Amino acid sequence: MDTRIDFTLPQEAAGTGAAQARLRRRFGAARTVLAAHAPHEVRAVLDAAEDAARAGAWCVGFVRYEAAAAFDAALVTHAADGPLAWFAVYEEALPWEDDETPGEAARLTWRSSLSRADFNHAMAQIHEAIADGVFYQVNYTAPLRGELQQGSAEALFAALLRAQPGGYAACLDTGAEQILSVSPELFFDWDGRRILARPMKGTAPRGATPAEDMAREQALRSAPKERAENVMVVDLLRNDLSRIAEPFSVQVPRLFHTQALPSVWQMTSDVQATTRAGTRLADVFAALFPCGSVTGAPKVAAMRMIRTLEPQPRGVYCGALGVLRPAGEGQMHATFNVPIRTLALRGRQAVCGIGSGITSGAEAGGEWREWQHKSAFVERASQPFALLETLALEDGAWRHLPEHLQRLQDAARHFRYPWPAQLEQCLADLAAAHPAGLWRVRLQLDASGQARAEAFACAPTRAPVCLQLAAAPLEDRWAQGEFVRYKTSRRAHYEAFAPRDPAVFDTVLFNEQGEITEGTRGNIAALLDGRWVTPPLACGLLAGVGRRVALRDGRASEGVLRLEDLPRVQAWAFINSLRGWLDAELELPR
């Protein structure tokens, strides 16, 4: 596997007017590899990598979280399960072509190493330590473990890039393991004098509608808990940078900046300084490593708690991963990420760490949900899927075609799927081939931008249809996730609730808050207090085209429908574009 980097250059590094310039390169055979296996070797490896870059080479590598003791013996960790520092040295950087394809799609299955009960117990221990004044923030993490069942590391990295675009992405192959990082967090960017750190702390899920999305962004920016977490890390970074900075040069030019990622909003702040003359890369690491955003504060006490709570080493996750590039005349430029959203592969076994910063105001349920939102990127990348629309073709004419195409285009934009130039012709050919009767058309768009449409004869549906209530809630990680907000071929979370009795037409779902959401095959409406209501998107459901038509035509309005409201419902309806509005009857549990 070739080493590759795809880093967003910070505005200060990219130059005026080029805030989103990218450093996108691949590398062939390494000239040499520098590795440290003991703490006393780490500084020598960093010095050698820096000297090679100043001499004109490119160096790409990482420092494990467990290398912390190389810089301060008080920073305790578990023993490392690989080299503490590793850098490959290359003569040149090569172009990375956009049209390179990785081959067979990757498939992985994941399991959590942490139960909810164990998570709650750890949270209680953290809160007790905070109350005792041991520390005021700790970053608590646990690994997801998976198995690569199909495809290659290259295919998995390509899927991760689609799932978590932008940021500071890199893949490295040490021979013993492959590191696949799509981190959105900049650790530091340093040109030998000016240094910029951009800690990330503060998270909120994305909204189901543009208005809700904006509201969640504003709530994140103003939330006292999230701002407190961010300020704690900023203060820690200011203090760390002061150890290598010229007097009075440490500044915080930007606080509480929100960044939109596919499944979450993240909050960052900028801390910058001018380093003292003679500062070396190893000095920068000695001052900053590990980044305060993945330890907590004070750092020494927080890292002691991390070793107590987390039974295994973190590895490259929460360490540093980056590139040293030559900058002419004996100079070099270093850019490192904080390797969150990062996988390690050994053979077919994969590990991905997930975590969050815990303060006195953190609540176990909210933090657990945050972990689910953060893991959405790896869920998306772990199974190939197509974007999906189900349309009605009746006597050669499409029903609600513009609405379906708009929804498909919105999904393609969200998942970064290319829009197919041949789509309209594909649909025209299908309509011409089926000039009479009612047809259910399944339209799919895959990750390469290929569209495929199939038509199936559709018999009329006799109403009223029978609905059943789900036996359990749809978990928030699905109800508030992108595979509910957008229609795709990833439907296992729906299929788990599909009715087994052929007399039952569909299952009515509800979320963990006890709010009715939708069916597994369409939306629902209820006649309550004399008016038809359909659940709002914020409850966690697909914005169905049939639902949209019913709202537009005034047949229904949005309203939250809770489980305790069910006995008062006067009538039910099932709604989708294919079947239209169907009278329904809901069987309530006895």
Residues identified as active-site: 185, 201
Please give the backbone phi and psi of residue 586, each rounded to the nearest 5 degrees, phi first: -105, 125
**3-class secondary structure, 537:** helix
Close Cβ partners of 87 (under 8 Å, ≥ 6 residues apart):
33, 34, 35, 45, 48, 49, 59, 60, 61, 62, 324
SS3 of the chain: helix, strand, coil, percent, to 5: 30, 35, 35
Three state DSSP letters for 100-128: CCCCCCCEEEEEECCCHHHHHHHHHHHHH
Report d(CA 341, CA 429) in Å as an integer.
43
Report d(CA 398, CA 391) in Å as an integer.
7
Place of tokens 């010095």: 47
Amino acid at 541: L
CB-facing half-sphere around the CA of 457: CA atoms within 13 A: 3
Pair 112, 144: CB distance under 8 Å: yes
What angle do helix axes 116-131 and 299-309 make, rounded to 10 degrees? 150
Close Cβ partners of 568 (under 8 Å, ≥ 6 residues apart):
528, 529
Tokens linked to 25: 């390169």
Report d(CA 283, CA 273) in Å as an integer.
14
Strand pairing category for 85-90 and 94-95: unpaired
Pair 545, 576: CB distance under 8 Å: yes
Beta bridge partners of 325: 333
Strand pairing category for 531-534 and 85-90: unpaired
